[in-house]
Structure 1
Amino acid sequence: MYLKQLAALVATAVLVSGCQTTNPYTGEQEVNKTAKYAGVGALAGAVIGGIADGGDGALKGAAIGGAAGGGYGYYTDRQEAKLRAELQNTGVQVHRQGDIIQLVMPSNITFDSSKSDIKADFYPVLGSVAKVFKEYNKNLIQVVGHTDSSGNDKINQPLSQARADSVAQYLIAQQVPQTRITAYGKGASMPIADNSTKAGRAANRRVEINLLPPPAKTRSKG
């Protein structure tokens, strides 16, 4: 009986982990991240529970593992959806890699050329970002400034740092806790496009906000 229950559980977990949904913003089919994490967690929990306590242990372990696996993934899913909804048609790109969400803010909508003062038109957008950060307050927030390769490091490095600092200070002014935020300038050291073209240089002039998972101890209390 135990083997049949475990087999059914494993099969269900595998099916759930492979569920696909349609991204409402891109129309693309993608794996449901929450289901994926929950399915993997259920499998792990079943194996560990089965070793520890036979059939009942496997079933209990699957339930616990599924909840734990889906917990932070579900949180990140909701946060990603809220950010995409808030940032539609703003020019800010939202990317997701596992538990990390990245916002890419091109300089043409955030700063004037060679300046680090946030454009007035961008304040409402950044205010929407701050609102989501306060609602979803488990992440660590890493603000990173980048430039193209024009000029030299003596110009690019401090400019990228100043732009990252401007964004970070605005978030803090909007009551996002300073303890969650770090700001770095990377100058021209991390291009995402070809600096030999005008379009490539424009893409490289950007500020990124990386939303990072909290430390394990903090996450386990959530």
Structure 2
Amino acid sequence: MNKLRNLAFAAAGLTLLAGCTNNPYTGEREAGKAGIYGGVGAVTGAVIGAATSSKKDRAKGALIGAAVGGAAGGGYGYYVDTQEAKLRQTLQGTGVQVQRNGDDLKLIMPGNITFASNSSDISSGFYPTLNSLVTVFKEFDKNGIDIVGHTDSTGSMELNQNLSNRRAQSVASYLTSNGVPAQRISSYGAGPSQPIASNASEAGRAQNRRVEINLRPQ
């Protein structure tokens, strides 16, 4: 049993090392998401592999199970790691923020670069950024794309709800018209209901006027 446990942890350790990357801000070596998921998968696979093998083949079964489990566990994590890196590189200097939470990626596009005031017509200067997103979304085609429009609290609820709907739809329409499959995309407006800053100041209202694109596993 000790031998089996050691094999499982060794396999997990190898998977974690394979998933390690250098933190671009500190320069330190750290485990990436793929390595973490792969390590968990390796341990699970090792246990299952040993349990389903005969007594004399348990060590071999543990190693095979660890390899299969590690690959399966790390697969989507590695996919998101790569996609996140590509988005950060592509969107550098555009004003679009890239945030990650587990397997979900969020792109936050402030209103000052996307739409003119009280308009759902995409600003001409934002088209190059959207074109870059089209390219990335075609390359990484295993995500659902949820587009959400947001406003500040100035004006009536009805006005803000309609404006946020139209803005989200404008972005969705641009993506589909440039070859991103419509079945991957959903869009809706949240109006002023999901502020990320206080609406009591102009700076806060400017942050709340935004469009977000949420990328999630399909």
Query: Could you tell me the TM-score, scaled by structure 1's length?
Result: 0.89
Q: Give the letter aligned to residue 215 of structure 2.
A: L
> Do residues 44 (structure 1) and 44 (structure 2) align?
yes
Tell me the secondary structure at the aligned position of residue 107 of structure 2: strand
Residues 20, 35 of structure 2: 8 Å contact kept: no
Q: Tell me if the contact between 2:7 and 2:62 (Cα under 8 Å) persists in the aligned partners.
A: no
In the alignment, what sits opposite 1:217?
none
Q: Number of residue pairs matched?
A: 212
2:182 to 173, 178, 185: 178
Give, in whole Å, the separation in 1 of the partners of 2:156 and 2:23. 41
Partner of 1:197: 201
For 1:199, the aligned partner's letter is A
Separation in 2 of the partners of 1:111 and 1:150?
16
Structure with the greater alpha carbon radius of gyration: 2
Contact 2:120 2:170 in 1 (8 A): yes
**2:9 alignment counterpart:** 10
Given the alignment of the two structures, is residue 108 of structure 1 paired with residue 112 of structure 2, yes or no?
yes
Q: Distance in 1 between matches of 2:99 and 2:69?
A: 27
For 2:9, the aligned partner's letter is V
Per the TM alignment, residue 15 of structure 1 is displaced from its structure 2 partner at its CA by 7.2
* 1:14, distance to aligned residue in structure 2 (A): 4.7
State percent identity of aligned pairs.
56
The answer as to whether partners of 1:79 and 1:136 remain within 8 angstroms in 2 is: yes
CA contact (8 A) 1:6 1:55 kept: no
Task: Return structure 1 stretches of 4+ with deviation > 4 angstroms.
Answer: 26-30
Q: CA deviation at 1:37?
A: 1.0
Tell me the C-alpha RMSD between the 2 structures. 1.9
Give the unaligned 5+ runs of structure 2.
Answer: none
Aligned-residue offset at 1:16 = 5.1
CA contact (8 A) 1:6 1:59 kept: no
Q: Does 1:59 align with 2:63?
A: yes
